[in-house]
């Protein structure tokens, strides 16, 4: 289908009237344009006089005088034009000299032709208005005064004009009023032009800047980066592109509302701007994502130093309307020319590196390498397959036992999820959990796990199996959902489980980043009768203030502190301190990743309450675990 396009007139094209009355093109001076106009008029006048003489017979005395004046005017105008070319600097005396000459020629014609010379009257306005428009309001006033004086002199010297005083008065009055009218019109046009220019600037700003932070948007960023790449390629320099994402920002936005989130974006943008140079470009490209690019000779160490500085400035506590939240950022870095030769490639690769930083736990930076692109493609594939897996019932429930450190009996378990992939076999969470967290699938997956655990525990109760405390990992996003407590309540009611058999595990990151909301959620959970466990303790912030503040029942010491005991004195000191602090705060302690009997004996000696790890059992399917707790197989295994 062909679409007919209406041709839009080119605003840069100039008509004859533009050259006669208005400002000249930028490539020539106003004086030159006015001089060229005089030359054109003089030449036309000579042609008309010659033609008149050829058509109507002998030349009269008046016609000879007119011809002489026209030739003189042409010659003077040519000399004036040459002078301007040689001495282009504007001289007021030169401009006024030509204005007087113009008016003198018109006045002489007015005098010579008597009242018939009134036909030359419009030329007074052309000289006055034309010079005023070219040179400014001051020259308009000067030209108007000169025109009136010379007109009055010309009519005063003519006896024929003296017989028409009313005509003289009317024409003189018009010579006063007409420039005033043009002046008023010019001012109005000036105001309108200024308003239009301001409106255009505002629309351009809206089109190229973010409405929340006022930073350049993706459009302006790409334009500047295109220009920088072209410039840098010519100079043989480098560009470093930093893609910045705020960790867990969606959870904050969903919890406190978009207005609160927008204020945080403004504060983050302000902090990022504070660590930039004035000529660096910082842009917000959407959501909670920002991009910075720097030009220069950026070695990897310099880029790393700048990423560290941004993380230091932007990470920390933010306050708004009495609410305190902790934010951190993840940064991906791509460099020109090594990681891309054009804007689209550099931005894409910096984003890819940023996702790697988030996958490694966030609050860090990563430099792009070619392997990352393949990983991103795999993550996108996994996200698509995850949605199909939930509908196809491909997820499986697994349990890893927790045993009493003294008696070695099973007293609980951690519920885990596995994916029975149709082609890749049984996948552990490490293979797909990041892809789930990067999409909304983590919410569906958490809901599936909670529902499956409650149904399994309900089945245990119905079969009279021993009472066990089963813990379920809850993602930060799920935990901060506004309807999470109601979801818990409904599942407990539907499955009829004893809620004292259910515990929720959350990470330190969730505790710190959403402390205000967590406080409310914790107390609601305790009202339901559920236990609370703090998972992976020691890997992130480990603030004792938070341990004291929140009603945590069990502290789970991360496996990274357990793997080298009892051989590492430092780890032994840290773990013993954690156990003592937890007990002082009336919390139980569970050590994760216990794999040897030496580790078990050491933990038992230090009064650790429970252990979890391969020494007791690897994670097993729900059916196998049901058999295990019925026959106490873990106790036999550890005892041996």
- Which pLDDT tens digit goes with each residue over 359-407? 787 889 999 998 887 877 888 889 899 999 999 999 999 999 999 999 9
User: In 3-state terms, what secondary structure has residue 30?
Assistant: helix
81/534 Cα distance (integer angstroms): 89
- Across 126-140, 239-253, 492-506, least confident range: 126-140
Average pLDDT, the chain: 85
CB atoms within 10 A of CB 139: 20
50: which strand partners? Answer: none
248/358 Cα distance (integer angstroms): 10
Which H or E element spans position 20?
Answer: helix 16-21
* In the predicted structure, residue 544 carries a pLDDT above the cut 80: no
Tokens found for residue 238:
């480098």
Q: What are phi and psi of 170, to 5 degrees?
A: -65, -45
Of the candidates 614, 546, 611, 610, the one whose C-alpha atom is nearest the C-alpha of residue 581 is: 546
- Which pLDDT tens digit goes with each residue over 282-340? 999 999 999 999 987 656 788 899 999 999 999 999 999 888 889 999 999 999 988 99
The domains of the chain are located at: 16-203, 218-368, 380-639
pLDDT recorded at residue 62: 67
Query: What fold characterizes domain 380-639?
Result: TIM Barrel (3.20.20)
More confident residue, 55 or 194: 194
Provide the H-helix boundaries in 158-257. Answer: 159-162, 165-208, 218-235, 249-256
405/597 Cα distance (integer angstroms): 11
Calculate helix-pair angle for 121-135, 92-112, nearest 10 degrees.
170
For 218-368, CATH gives 3.30.70.270
Band of residue 513 on the pLDDT scale cut at 50, 70, 90 = low
- Which pLDDT tens digit goes with each residue over 459-483? 999 988 888 999 999 988 888 788 8
- Which pLDDT tens digit goes with each residue over 338-369? 899 999 999 999 999 998 898 787 889 999 99
pTM assigned to the model = 0.57
> Could you check whether 218-368 and 380-639 share the same CATH topology?
no
pLDDT recorded at residue 13: 53
pLDDT recorded at residue 579: 95
pLDDT recorded at residue 117: 65
* In the predicted structure, residue 54 carries a pLDDT above the cut 60: yes
Band of residue 25 on the pLDDT scale cut at 50, 70, 90 = low
């Amino acid at each position: 289908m062909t679409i007919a396009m209406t041709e839009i007139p080119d605003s840069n094209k100039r008509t004859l009237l533009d050259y006669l009355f208005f400002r000249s093109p930028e490539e020539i001076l106003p004086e030159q344009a006015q001089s060229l106009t005089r030359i054109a008029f003089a030449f036309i006048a000579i042609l008309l006089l010659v033609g008149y003489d050829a058509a109507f017979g002998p030349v009269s005395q008046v016609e000879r005088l007119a011809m002489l004046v026209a030739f003189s005017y042409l010659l003077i105008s040519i000399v004036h034009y040459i002078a301007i070319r040689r001495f282009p600097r504007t001289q007021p005396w030169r401009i006024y000299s030509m204005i007087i000459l113009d008016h003198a020629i018109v006045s002489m014609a007015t005098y010579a032709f008597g009242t018939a010379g009134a036909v030359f009257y419009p030329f007074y306005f052309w000289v006055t208005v034309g010079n005023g428009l070219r040179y400014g309001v001051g020259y308009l006033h000067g030209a108007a005064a000169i025109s009136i004086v010379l007109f009055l002199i010309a009519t005063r010297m003519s006896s024929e004009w003296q017989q028409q005083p009313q005509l003289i008065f009317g024409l003189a009055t018009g010579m006063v009023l007409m420039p005033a009218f043009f002046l008023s019109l010019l001012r109005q046009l000036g105001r309108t032009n200024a308003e239009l220019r301001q409106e255009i600037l505002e629309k351009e700003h809206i089109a190229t800047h973010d409405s929340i932070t006022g930073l350049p948007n993706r459009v302006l960023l790409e334009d500047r980066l295109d220009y920088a790449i072209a410039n840098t390629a010519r100079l043989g320099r480098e560009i470093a592109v930093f893609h910045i994402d705020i960790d867990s920002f969606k959870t904050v936005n969903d919890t406190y509302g978009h207005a609160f989130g927008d204020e945080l974006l403004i504060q983050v943008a302000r902090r990022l701007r504070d660590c930039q140079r004035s000529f660096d470009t910082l842009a917000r490209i959407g959501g909670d994502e920002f991009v910075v690019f720097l030009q220069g000779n950026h070695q990897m160490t310099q880029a790393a130093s700048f990423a560290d500085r941004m993380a230091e400035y932007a990470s920390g506590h933010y306050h708004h309307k009495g609410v305190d939240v902790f934010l951190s950022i993840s940064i991906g870095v791509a460099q020109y020319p090594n990681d891309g030769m054009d804007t689209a490639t550099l931005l894409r690769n910096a984003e890819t590196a940023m996702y790697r930083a988030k996958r490694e736990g966030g609050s860090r930076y990563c430099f792009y390498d070619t392997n990352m692109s393949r990983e991103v493609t795999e993550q996108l594939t996994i996200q698509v397959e995850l949605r199909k897996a939930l509908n196809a019932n491909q997820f499986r429930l697994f349990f890893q036992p927790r045993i009493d450190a003294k008696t070695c009996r099973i007293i609980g378990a951690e519920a885990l999820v596995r994916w029975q992939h149709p082609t890749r076999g049984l996948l552990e969470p490490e293979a797909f959990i990041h892809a789930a967290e990067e999409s909304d699938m983590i919410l569906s997956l958490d809901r599936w796990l909670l529902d499956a655990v409650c149904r399994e525990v309900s089945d245990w109760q119905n079969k009279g199996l021993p009472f066990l405390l089963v813990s379920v990992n809850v993602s930060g996003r799920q935990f901060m959902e506004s309807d999470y407590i109601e979801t818990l309540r409904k599942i407990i009611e539907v499955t009829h489980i004893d809620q004292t058999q259910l515990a929720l595990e959350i990470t330190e990151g969730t505790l710190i980043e959403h402390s205000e909301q967590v406080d409310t959620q914790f107390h609601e959970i305790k009202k339901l009768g559920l236990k609370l466990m703090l998972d992976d303790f020691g890997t992130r912030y480990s603030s004792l203030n938070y341990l004291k503040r929140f009603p945590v029942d069990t502290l789970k010491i991360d496996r990274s502190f357990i793997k080298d005991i009892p051989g590492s004195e430092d780890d032994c000191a840290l773990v013993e301190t954690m156990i003592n602090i937890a007990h002082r705060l009336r919390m139980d302690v569970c050590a994760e990743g216990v794999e040897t009997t030496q580790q078990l004996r050491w933990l038992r000696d230090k009064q650790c309450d429970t252990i979890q790890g391969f020494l007791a059992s690897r994670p097993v399917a729900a059916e196998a675990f049901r058999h295990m707790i019925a026959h106490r197989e873990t106790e036999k295994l550890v005892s041996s």
